[in-house]
Amino acid sequence: MALVLCAVASGHATPVAGAAPAFGWPLEPRPAITREFDPPAQDWLPGHRGVDLAARPGQTVLAAGDGTVAFAGTVAGKPVVSIDHAGGLRTTYEPVVAAVTAGRRVRSGDPLGTVSAGHDGCPVPACLHWGLRRGRDDYLDPLPLVQRPVIRLLPVDGG
């Protein structure tokens, strides 16, 4: 019987194709999660396309992984920073007053800016909304970037 190495996260087995890029939490110390990822049933419906992390106003926001700043500015009146990573991934951070500019290369843990108060629905003084997507429209839960998956050997032949 042949075996294949798989990562199991949220009940789904995904083949492991080599070393994953290193990602870390965008806040230190490790923050509490105040709102989980809750994707909509259809792309056009409302949902929560990221996670909210408890923060302090003025707290430093860190790059979750190596990449290039794709955007640092205001969207719909909110300050936002976006980082493009290898493999077509993009992380977003809001509300963040940027200390970086578009085009700048960053390494995991580099400061991006500071958290502003005023994130809608935040139950603490400030929240960082941390998002992840692949491509333009494929929103993903960013927590698997920083939480260890369970690794299991599964039979290839279904036995």
Q: What is the DSSP string of 62-97?
A: E-SBSEEEEEEEEETTEEEEEEEEGGGEEEEEESEE
Q: Is CATH 3.90.470.20 correct for 24-147?
A: no
Mean pLDDT, residues 71-96 = 96
Task: Characterize the bridge pairing of strands 105-106 and 126-134.
Answer: unpaired
Instruction: Determine the distance from the C-alpha atom of residue 108 to the mean position of all C-alpha atoms in its chain, rounded to a whole number.
Output: 12
Mean pLDDT, residues 57-81 = 97
- Pairwise CA distance, residues 29 & 127, whole Å: 14
Strand partners, 133: 90, 139
The model's pTM is 0.79
The domain spans of the chain are 24-147
- Beta-carbon neighbour count of residue 45 at 10 Å? 8
Instruction: Determine the distance from the C-alpha atom of residue 134 to the mean position of all C-alpha atoms in its chain, rounded to a whole number.
Output: 11
Confidence check: pLDDT of 157 > 80: no
Higher pLDDT, 93 or 147: 93
Q: Given this model, what pLDDT does residue 17 score? A: 38
Q: Given this model, what pLDDT does residue 129 score? A: 96
Mean pLDDT, residues 30-45 = 86
Q: Given this model, what pLDDT does residue 2 score? A: 40
Residue in the structure block whose two tokens are 């294949």: 4
**Radius of gyration of the chain from its Cα atoms, rounded to whole angstroms:** 17
Mean pLDDT, residues 41-61 = 88
Q: Given this model, what pLDDT does residue 150 score? A: 65
Calculate the dihedral angle through the C-alpha atoms of 71, 125, 118, 130, rounding to the nearest 10 degrees: 30
Q: At residue 22, what are phi and psi to the nearest 5 degrees?
A: -80, 125
Q: Given this model, what pLDDT does residue 158 score? A: 60
Could you read off the pLDDT of 91-120 as tens digits, one per residue? Answer: 999 999 999 999 999 999 999 999 999 788
- Beta-carbon neighbour count of residue 4 at 10 Å? 11
